[in-house]
């Protein structure tokens, strides 16, 4: 288990204990886990993004804080938020993270998640020119989600 997983697990546990809203000091976290503050920023951007069901507010500087709130939304609202956040390009890693979050939050079934991953994976897109794969992946991803709303 890497440091990012450990930090994310700690924050998740603290969020659960705090009822879904938490304020942390970036420097305290970095000191606690013996890492640089940019490692905390990385965890926040990859594990606690809106696509993962969180709102994160932060203020940098000496007294900087991170405020994390778990967002409780209905299935349709979550799906529409994800569709709108995809944009015109979607890389494979982001697609996997979004699918994982959607399945974990039960917004889509495990089967639909697997279908999304198959339809947007490298094997399915190998015939497309490399420079257009992310755009094609975004279009396919959004269309499948639109039809599941």
| pLDDT digit string (tens) for the chain, length 149 residues | 789 999 999 999 999 999 989 999 988 999 999 999 889 888 988 888 776 778 888 877 666 688 999 887 788 888 888 898 888 999 998 899 889 888 888 889 999 999 999 999 999 999 999 999 999 999 999 999 999 98
Answer for the pair 54, 7: CB distance below 8 angstroms, yes or no: no
Looking at domain 3-70, which of 3.40.50.20, 3.40.50.300, 1.25.40.10, 3.30.56.130 is its CATH number? 3.30.56.130
Whole-angstrom Cα distance, residue 32 to residue 73? Answer: 32
Phi, psi for 127 (deg, rounded to 5): -80, -15
Structural Rg of the chain based on CA atoms: 17
Looking at domain 75-148, which of 1.10.1200, 2.30.42, 1.10.10, 1.20.58 is its CATH number? 1.10.1200
Whole-angstrom Cα distance, residue 11 to residue 23? Answer: 10
Residue range(s) of every CATH 1.10.1200 domain in the chain = 75-148
Whole-angstrom Cα distance, residue 105 to residue 33? Answer: 28
- Helix, strand, or coil (residue 8): helix
Residue range(s) of every CATH 3.30.56.130 domain in the chain = 3-70
pLDDT given for residue 61 in this prediction: 67
Answer for the pair 45, 11: CB distance below 8 angstroms, yes or no: no
Comparing CA positions, the residue from 64, 85, 71, 63 lying closest to residue 145 is 85
pLDDT given for residue 51 in this prediction: 67
Estimate the crossing angle of helix 133-148 against helix 110-120, to 10 degrees.
Answer: 160
Residue 23 pairs in a beta bridge with: 67
pLDDT given for residue 49 in this prediction: 79
């Amino acid at each position: 288990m890497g440091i990012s997983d450990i930090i994310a697990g700690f924050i998740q546990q603290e969020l659960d204990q705090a009822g879904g809203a938490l304020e942390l000091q970036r420097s305290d976290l970095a000191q606690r886990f013996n890492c640089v503050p940019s490692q905390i920023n990385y965890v926040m951007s990859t594990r606690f993004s809106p696509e993962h069901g969180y709102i994160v507010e932060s203020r940098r500087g000496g007294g900087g804080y991170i405020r994390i709130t778990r967002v409780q939304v209905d299935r349709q609202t979550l799906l529409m938020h994800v569709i709108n956040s995809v944009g015109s390009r979607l890389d494979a890693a982001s697609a996997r993270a979004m699918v994982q979050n959607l399945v974990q939050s039960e917004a889509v079934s495990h089967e639909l998640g697997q279908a999304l991953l198959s339809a947007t994976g490298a094997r399915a897109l190998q015939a497309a020119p490399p420079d257009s794969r992310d755009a094609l992946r975004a279009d396919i991803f959004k269309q499948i989600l639109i039809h599941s709303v």
